């Protein structure tokens, strides 16, 4: 469904991504893990189109994204839930979700999606009229994910959904992602620093260090890998 082939990208003369190749099959749950500053968010920016790769190719469902502007990509079915749960603070929960449904598919599926989102995240149903800025961190993350889902994506990209959340809240989010995936067969690409949780939820993983993929494989193989165990799982 999504292929990155030898992608190089950066912000200044200093490169951040040094030839990253990643493959996400339809229906897969793929995690990209790695230390701070490895370039995980930068990968997402190249996929959503806010950063242009200097070299390499990104294709979504066989379509080369090089000539597809960032604002068209959600309409192809690519939803990017950015780091730091950027919800519209002065709008209500409902209005935030409604704004997420701005794609053609999102408008078409709005009623069904809204019911599903409020079912997965009952907190959002309870607070649907509340201003998003007054929600807790975990609730804002649920809303950010809900807004992404409201666009009726084929690929949901989540940048560190557990950031700054208490472990029980983060666990709830991971559980919901698994449930959403099971019920909808949605393809999910996740970036996480909570490596243990990410590799438990996903079925395939990539370890990114200093802008390069240093390891990849099925989650079970990565969890059993000595380097991953020592560097990321504290074993």
CA distance 151 to 170: 23
Residue window 137-176: x/- pattern of binding to ligand ATP, with contact defined by CB under 6 A:
----------------------------------------
How many other CB atoms are found less than 10 A from the CB of residue 66? 12
Find the binder of ligand ATP among 29, 40, 81, 232 (CB under 6 A).
40
| Helix extents (H) in the chain | 40-48, 73-76, 93-100, 104-108, 110-120, 122-126, 137-150, 167-184, 195-201, 219-224, 226-231
Q: Are 214 and 21 in contact (CB under 8 A)?
A: no
Report if residue 38 touches ligand ATP, rule: CB under 6 A. yes
Report if residue 9 touches ligand ATP, rule: CB under 6 A. no
Find the binder of ligand ATP among 11, 27, 50, 72 (CB under 6 A).
11
The two tokens of residue 95 are 């209005």
Residue by residue, what is the 3-state secondary structure of 90-114? CCEHHHHHHHHCCCHHHHHCHHHHH
| Cβ at position 208, least distance to ligand ATP in Å | 7
CA distance 26 to 3: 11
Query: Which residue lies nearer to ligand ATP by CB, 163 or 169?
Result: 163
Report if residue 36 touches ligand ATP, rule: CB under 6 A. yes
Report if residue 41 touches ligand ATP, rule: CB under 6 A. yes
Report if residue 39 touches ligand ATP, rule: CB under 6 A. yes
Scanning residues 189 to 228, which ones bind ligand ATP (CB under 6 A)?
Answer: 193
Query: Which residue lies nearer to ligand ATP by CB, 42 or 103?
Result: 42
Strand, helix or coil for residue 72: helix
Report if residue 49 touches ligand ATP, rule: CB under 6 A. no
The two tokens of residue 225 are 């890998």
| Cβ at position 75, least distance to ligand ATP in Å | 25
With contacts defined by CB under 6 A, how many residues of the chain interact with ligand ATP?
12
Q: Which residues are at the interface with ligand ATP (CB under 6 A)?
A: 11-12, 16, 34, 36-42, 193
């Amino acid at each position: 469904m999504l292929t990155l082939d030898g992608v190089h990208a950066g912000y200044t003369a200093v490169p951040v991504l040094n030839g990253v190749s990643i493959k996400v099959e339809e229906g897969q749950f793929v995690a990209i893990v790695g230390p701070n500053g490895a370039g995980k968010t930068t990968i997402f920016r190249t996929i959503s189109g806010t950063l242009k790769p200097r070299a390499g190719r990104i294709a979504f469902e066989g379509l080369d994204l090089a000539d597809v502007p960032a604002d068209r990509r959600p309409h192809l079915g690519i939803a990017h839930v950015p780091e730091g749960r950027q919800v519209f603070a002065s709008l209500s929960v409902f209005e935030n979700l409604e704004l997420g449904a701005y794609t053609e598919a999102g408008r078409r599926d709005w009623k069904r999606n809204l019911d599903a989102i409020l079912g997965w995240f009952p907190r959002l149903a309870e607070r649907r009229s509340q201003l998003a800025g007054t929600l807790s961190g975990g609730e804002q993350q649920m809303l950010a994910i809900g807004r992404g889902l409201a666009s009726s994506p084929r690929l949901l990209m989540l940048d560190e959904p557990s950031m700054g959340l208490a472990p029980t809240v983060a666990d709830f989010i991971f559980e919901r992602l698994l449930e959403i995936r099971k019920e909808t067969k949605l393809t999910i690409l996740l970036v996480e620093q909570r490596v243990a949780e990410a590799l438990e939820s996903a079925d395939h993983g990539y370890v990114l260090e200093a802008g390069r993929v240093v390891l990849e494989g099925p989650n079970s193989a990565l969890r059993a890998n000595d380097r991953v165990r020592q560097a990321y799982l504290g074993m």
